[in-house]
Amino acid sequence: MKNTVAIIGLGLIGGSLGLALKRGNLDLHITGFDRSYSSADEAYRRGIIDSIAPSAKIACENADFVLFATPVNTTIALMKEAREWSLKEDVIISDTGSTKSPIMEAAKWFTEQGITFIGGHPMAGSHKSGVAAAKAHLFENAYYILTPLENEERLKVDRLANLLTATKGKIVVLDASEHDRMTAIVSHFPHLVASSLVGRLAEQEIDQPFVKKLAAGGFRDLTRIASADPTMWRDITIQNQTELLQQLDGWLNEMNRIKSMLLANNPEEIFDFFADAKQYRDRLPSTYEGAVQGALYMTFDLHIDIPDHPGVISEITKILAEEEISLTNIRIVETRTDVYGILVISFQTADDRKAARNALSTKTDYSMHIL
């Protein structure tokens, strides 16, 4: 008998989950629901789901597994609605939200009713959104965090983990508060910093109009994450407020320490500041070296030194096309300070970048530099 999985929310994450699960387990029947019927219809036509449910309630009441692939606030609202649903006795419910504490607080009601809820967060993303961008390999080599409530049966956690092995993600079990603290450090707070740096640039462009052109190089790359969806990041900031305030306090203390360093103007102290940062940063795992993708979604860039003659860019893109390597962006960097090459090509995965580097290294004479 086939297990039934209900996926509620058929965007990038929900669609990619459906593709990954169907790729890894032919004994599943996946039913899907999305408030946008066009998204649900596209998911059905692409074979992401096997049937379209007329409502979240109907999708979930016959399911062995329920996966809420919706924004955190929407998921919490659906969880409250689900209190009136007739769910299967042994159903396992999970979600994909990027903050876990509010989800797991809402999940306590299910535990009191003997219903299993295990939080989930696949740490993967894309430069595109919507079901049209869904890919079966989206979660490969990315951490997939599970956050069960305290005293949850290990067999239930293992049952969900077994289902999710089809994603080829690295499944890790964490406490919800621990998850939120760590994602605040390496993902949520950096978004605040990046956005504030962009805000400083915008303020100073009034008196220094040319500064915007200088920002086209390293500054643009440093603040890339500030281009993320503002609605999503508004919600994340509100949901993870406590952890973000702690990070901000630590950041302000660090900025005061740096201010004192600047006022003292001691060359040795300044050198040590930069040297210590470089040493620690250089020890961080690199996705290019095969490390698992972290919490902060990144594109994978090649920086290429190329000669300035007609046709050189089309030559490079032709090689990539012949090798069937997809790129997500290509741009020319005019400001060269702290930039490793004038042409920047971005890829969806580390494997695509590696394949592109190998292809271009063997078929051109251009020097490759990897950030």
Domain boundaries, the chain: 3-174, 184-288, 299-369
**Which phi and psi angles does 346 have, rounded to 5°?**
-110, 145
The answer for residues whose C-beta is within 8 angstroms of residue 363's C-beta and 6 or more apart is 319
CATH class of 299-369: alpha beta
Q: What is the pLDDT along the chain (371 residues), one digit of tens a residue?
A: 688 999 999 999 999 999 999 887 778 999 999 999 999 999 999 999 999 999 999 999 999 999 999 999 999 999 999 999 999 989 999 999 999 999 999 999 999 999 999 999 998 876 667 888 888 888 988 899 999 998 899 999 999 999 999 999 999 999 999 999 999 999 999 999 999 999 999 999 989 989 888 887 678 878 888 888 888 889 999 999 999 999 999 999 999 999 999 999 999 999 999 999 999 988 887 654 555 555 555 667 777 777 666 777 888 888 888 888 888 778 776 544 454 457 778 787 777 888 888 888 787 765 555 44
Task: Enumerate long-range contacts of 212-217, CB under 8 Å, 24 or more apart.
Answer: 213/334, 213/335, 214/335, 214/337, 215/335, 216/333, 216/334, 216/335, 217/333, 217/334, 217/335, 217/336, 217/337, 217/338, 217/339
CATH class of 3-174: alpha beta
For the question of whether the overall pTM of this predicted structure is more than 0.85, the answer is no
Contact 156, 116 (CB under 8 A): yes
| CATH number belonging to the domain at 184-288, selected among 3.30.1490.20, 2.60.40.1120, 3.90.1150.10, 1.10.3660.10 | 1.10.3660.10
- Which sign, positive or negative, has the C-alpha torsion 136, 138, 142, 145? negative
Sheet containing strand 343-347, strands side by side: 329-332, 343-347, 300-305, 367-369
